[in-house]
């Protein structure tokens, strides 16, 4: 392990009493197997911390979910659903992997991929908006990850730039399945009101209904935002935002790439069955039709996860 001064540089605490305990090499890990560092993110019921494993020496993100908070907010099922979704999705390069899940008296711990370049939201804020080659590359990765997720029967239900992380190679890792839903065999829709106003689809507002297609609506909002540097739908209150969403009232700014605009127009469609990518396999709007959209003409899908990211600008 690095000498103390380096540990401090990396944000790892050095006054950790567990530091002198031996590392475990097999079985379920415990807190003592990790040296905790800086806080990466904070949610209502959880905190994500950088942690270095004493077992393999690698950096991970550990989501610490406080049990008392879960119980008080009646969200115990939520944590169980998040774990179940992550287990189902293990192995896709565009989705954070879950390596271990363990608990102690006070908390649940999910050991996941550390995405060293943080949230897509921060990148958009820093640059104002992304270049079209970047929008194309990230949109293609999101489309591929969504197709995989849905093929495993998982809905994300809160897709937005805060939940799209960037790894050390600036490739995406979709995170935060805390509002995820694992569909049962034959189940197509969920009826819990979740998400973030700017990305919520009309069917959720009108019928409390979310399907795979609702993730494609949010995807359209994300493409718009990466390209324009602002929300597709955002008013002074959630109520006013929802009115615009229900009427699908949005405008693209001057200079918005024409093919990106066509793609956004085919995703931000009121009828969820007609959105590009959301149709059943073999239909004219299935995930393959989405991948065949002219905006993605230069994307080589077979090397999407090994090609270098375009220059970030």
Positions marked active-site:
158
Interface residue with ligand ADE among 12, 40, 54, 139 (CB under 6 A) is 40
Q: Are 180 and 156 in contact (CB under 8 A)?
A: yes
Pairing of strands 164-166, 98-103: unpaired
Residues in the interface with ligand ADE (CB under 6 A) total 12
* Residues 86-105 interacting with ligand ADE (rule: CB under 6 A): 96
Q: CB of 99: closest distance to ligand ADE in angstroms?
A: 11
Q: CB of 10: closest distance to ligand ADE in angstroms?
A: 14
Interface residue with ligand ADE among 29, 33, 34, 61 (CB under 6 A) is 61
**Residue-wise DSSP of 293-307:** SGGGTT--GGGTTTS
Calpha distance 184→76 (Å, rounded): 19
User: Quick check: 48 binds ligand ADE (CB under 6 A)?
Assistant: yes
CA distances from residue 1 to 14, 23, 62, 107, 122 in whole angstroms, order as listed? 11, 11, 19, 26, 31
User: Quick check: 165 binds ligand ADE (CB under 6 A)?
Assistant: yes
Interface residue with ligand ADE among 23, 24, 31, 41 (CB under 6 A) is 41
Q: CB of 42: closest distance to ligand ADE in angstroms?
A: 9
At 9 the three-state DSSP class reads helix
Q: How many CB atoms lie within 10 A of CB 214?
A: 27
CB nearer to ligand ADE: give 11 or 41: 41
CB nearer to ligand ADE: give 49 or 275: 49
The interface mask with ligand ADE, positions 175-214, x = CB under 6 A, is: x---------------------------------------
User: Quick check: 221 binds ligand ADE (CB under 6 A)?
Assistant: no
- Beta-sheet strands, E only, within the chain: 34-42, 46-53, 59-66, 98-103, 107-113, 154-155, 164-166, 172-174, 181-182
Calpha distance 223→177 (Å, rounded): 20
CB nearer to ligand ADE: give 48 or 70: 48
Query: Left, alpha or beta for 245 (phi > 0: left; psi -120 to 50: alpha)?
Result: alpha
**Chain center to CA of 171:** 12
Q: CB of 145: closest distance to ligand ADE in angstroms?
A: 15
Q: CB of 175: closest distance to ligand ADE in angstroms?
A: 5
* Residues 108-137 interacting with ligand ADE (rule: CB under 6 A): 112-115, 118
Which residues contribute to the site for ligand ADE (CB under 6 A)? 40-41, 48, 61, 96, 112-115, 118, 165, 175
């Amino acid at each position: 392990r690095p000498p103390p001064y380096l540990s401090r540089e990396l944000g790892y605490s050095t006054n950790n009493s567990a530091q002198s305990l031996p590392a475990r090499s097999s079985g379920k890990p415990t807190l003592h197997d990790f040296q905790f560092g800086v806080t990466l993110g904070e949610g209502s019921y959880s905190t994500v911390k950088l942690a270095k494993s004493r077992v393999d020496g690698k950096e991970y993100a550990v989501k610490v979910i406080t049990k008392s908070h879960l119980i008080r907010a009646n969200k115990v099922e939520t944590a169980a659903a998040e774990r179940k979704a992550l287990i189902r999705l293990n192995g896709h390069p565009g989705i954070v992997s879950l390596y271990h899940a363990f608990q102690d008296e006070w908390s649940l711990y999910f050991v996941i991929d550390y995405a060293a370049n943080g949230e897509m939201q921060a990148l958009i804020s820093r640059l104002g908006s992304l270049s079209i080659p970047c929008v194309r590359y990230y949109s293609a990765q999101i489309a591929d990850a969504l197709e995989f997720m849905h093929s495993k029967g998982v809905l994300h239900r809160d897709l937005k730039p805060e939940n799209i992380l960037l790894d050390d190679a600036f490739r995406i890792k979709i995170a935060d399945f805390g509002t995820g839903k694992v569909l049962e065999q034959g189940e197509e829709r969920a009826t819990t009101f979740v998400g973030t106003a700017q990305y919520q689809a009309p069917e959720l507002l009108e019928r409390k209904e979310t399907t795979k297609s609702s993730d494609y609506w949010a995807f359209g909002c994300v493409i718009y935002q990466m390209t324009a540097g602002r929300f597709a739908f955002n008013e002074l209150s959630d109520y006013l935002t929802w009115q615009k969403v229900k009427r699908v009232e949005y405008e693209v700014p001057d200079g918005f790439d024409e093919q990106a605009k066509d793609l956004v127009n085919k995703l931000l469609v009121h009828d969820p069955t007609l959105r590009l990518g959301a149709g059943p396999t073999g239909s004219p709007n299935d995930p393959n039709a989405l991948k065949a959209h002219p905006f993605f003409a230069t994307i080589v899908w077979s090397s999407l996860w090994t090609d270098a990211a375009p220059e970030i600008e």
